[in-house]
Chains A and B, each alone.
Chain A
């Protein structure tokens, strides 16, 4: 039998097994390694319980701390001035996080450098008024059940673009939904489904 004819022989079961195991191992490494290399993690300045605070503010809900300004723009994350309406110089409870907040930020008059999960690139125009007021969409539809969380999850960002992983898409396959996926595709899909214009200038600036 020549070498050439030997090559035509059927592969053995062991060969196939080696291939499958190797393929699975390489894929597993890739799926684990790529996000680890691409995304860096940062912890929030200190922990914050949305659940606890939402219970305190009553019927007003999210808007109690995240209101609209008079000119129609959305105020976003409140400044320390807003927190001081309840948290004055003394702590209200016995949580160590509150102690950090009062001593390092309230007393020093410093703003908290919160990391915003949903922060979009500068070329994106998003109107909270159009979505929450005009279309009547609930906050949770895009931000998830943030109000029910007791801790702030770790903030992840893309090392190259520096954008939050939430907006760039934790689910690259397109299977996820906000807040894990707040990509342009998600915006465009919803606009199309609801018959809203999806021209460039609607969401870009």
Chain B
């Protein structure tokens, strides 16, 4: 389904059977990307969580209850017909674009006009609007990362696959004359995951782990049948998990993928 002729296609494979729902990825993401906490964080509709961990269950009563956690970063949709990323196609300000060389969907908060069209277009709720300026406590600016620019109220932000880390890795490659290796560019959530559920790399590069993992017959994507052609793959042995992450009719069979 890949139409990306670019050099790289950075993506993620998340093993849902390994995920314990600890939330370390979410915390690492917030710390890495200068995401603050609001005065009232009980209002979850206005919380900003680039990588959110959802909890789902199989709907059965004890003792048959099963729970799964779904870490959800931006899915970096490529679109099935050319580059038709939902958010990119609606943005009137060109504040977001699809990078054909990396497959990463960018977000430039300084260019965003705050219309929130993209928030509505995103099928994954991966985009967040800054309803308020973050009430950073005094002195907190000294703890912010200089590699990610903090956002102001009135603009949209989202996961960028830690693009600044790619920029940094490229710097090193320029100086040493090599290319960016798998270990040189890893997202903060991947590094933080204690159970190793998240794997990140270049889906186009056969040397990267994700290349093989994404071919797993049990690998699927969120709302795959929308045709968003995302680059975040999920793996689970449990049928009901896969069933819950796309719109299946009652009694409809799961697609059987040919193992490669």
Q: Would you call B175 and A72 a contact (CB within 8 A)?
A: yes
Whether the pair B171, A130 counts as a contact (CB closer than 8 A) is yes
Q: What total of A-B pairs shows CB separation below 8 Å?
A: 67
Beta-carbon contact of A71 and B171 below 8 Å = yes
Check if A8 is an interface residue, CB within 8 A of chain B.
Answer: no
What would 26 A/B residue contacts be, using CB atoms closer than 8 Å?
A68-B175, A71-B172, A72-B168, A72-B170, A72-B173, A72-B174, A73-B171, A122-B150, A123-B110, A123-B149, A125-B164, A129-B171, A129-B172, A129-B175, A133-B174, A133-B175, A200-B94, A200-B106, A201-B106, A201-B108, A201-B163, A204-B110, A205-B147, A205-B149, A205-B163, A205-B167
Chain B residues in 8 Å Cβ range of A122: 146, 149-150
Q: Which chain A residue lies CB-closest to B172?
A: A72
Asked if A72 contacts B110 (CB within 8 A), the reply is: no
B99, A199: Cβ atoms under 8 Å? yes
Closest to B164 in A: A205
Q: How far is the CB of A101 from chain B (nearest CB, A)?
A: 26
Q: Is the CB of B171 within 8 A of A199?
A: no
In the complex, whether B23 has a CB less than 8 A from a CB of chain A is: no
Query: What's the Cα separation between A134 and B175 when bound, in Å?
Result: 8
- For A134, list chain B residues within 8 Å (CB): 174
Interface assignment of A162: CB less than 8 Å from any CB of chain B = no
Known: A127-B174, A134-B174, A199-B97. A73 touches B110 (CB 8 A): no
Closest A-chain residue to B173, C-beta based? A72
Q: Inside 8 A of A201's CB, which chain B residues have their CB?
A: 97, 99, 104, 106, 108, 160, 163
Assess whether A148 is interfacial by the CB under 8 Å rule. no
B101 sits at the interface (CB 8 A): yes
A110 at the interface (CB under 8 A from B): no
Decide: A200 and B174 in contact? CB cutoff 8 A.
no
Residue in B148, B171, B175 whose CB lies within 8 Å of A205 = B148
Report B185 CB to chain A, min CB distance, Å: 12
Q: How many residues of B contact A (CB 8 A)?
A: 28
Say yes or no: is B111 at the interface (Cβ < 8 Å to chain A).
yes
Annotate A47-72 by CB proximity to B: 1 below 8 A, 0 otherwise. 00000000000000000000010011
| A interface size (C-beta, 8 A) | 19
Name the residue on B nearest A132 (C-beta). Answer: B174
Residues from chain A with Cβ under 8 Å of B170 in the complex: 72, 127, 129-130
Partner of A73, one of B95, B111, B168: B168
Say yes or no: A127 contacts B108, CB within 8 Å. no
Q: In whole angstroms, how far apart are the Cα atoms of A125 and B176 in the complex?
A: 20
B74 vs chain A, min Cβ distance (A): 13
- Expressed in whole angstroms, the minimum distance between the Cβ of B86 and any Cβ of chain A is 18
Which A-chain residue is minimally distant from B147 (CB atoms)? A205
Contacting pair B109 A127 (CB below 8 A): no
9 A-B pairs with the lowest CB-CB distances in the bound complex, closest first: A72-B171, A72-B172, A201-B106, A129-B174, A123-B149, A129-B171, A122-B149, A200-B108, A72-B175
CA separation between A58 and B106, bound complex, in Å?
43
What string of 1s and 0s marks CB contacts (under 8 Å) between A128-139 and chain B? 011001100000
Separation of A68 and B173 alpha carbons in the complex (Å): 13
A123 to B173, CA, bound (A): 23
Q: How far apart are the CA atoms of A199 and B163 in the complex, in Å?
A: 13
A127 touches B97 (CB 8 A): no
Q: Which residues of B contact A82 (CB under 8 A)?
A: none
Whether a CB of chain B sits under 8 angstroms from the CB of A159 is: no
Give the docked Cα–Cα distance between A204 and B99 (Å).
Answer: 13
Are B110's CB and A197's CB within 8 A?
Answer: no
Minimum CB–CB distance from A134 to chain B (whole Å) comes to 4
Given the complex, which residues of B lie within 8 Å of A205, measured CB to CB?
147-149, 163-164, 167
Interface residues of B in 60-114 (CB under 8 A from A): 94-95, 97, 99, 101, 104, 106, 108-111
